[in-house]
Amino acid sequence: MWKEEDNKLKRTLTFKDFKQAMAFMNQVAEVAEEMDHHPWWSNVYNTIEVELTTHDAGNTITEKDYKLADKIDQLYDIIKSS
Instruction: Give the pTM.
Output: 0.94
Fold of 3-81: Gyrase A; domain 2 (3.30.1360)
Per-residue model confidence (pLDDT) at position 49: 98
d(CA 72, CA 22): 14
7-60: pLDDT as tens digits: 999 999 999 999 999 999 999 999 999 999 999 999 999 999 999 999 989 999
d(CA 58, CA 16): 36
Could you tell me the residue ranges of all domains in the chain? 3-81
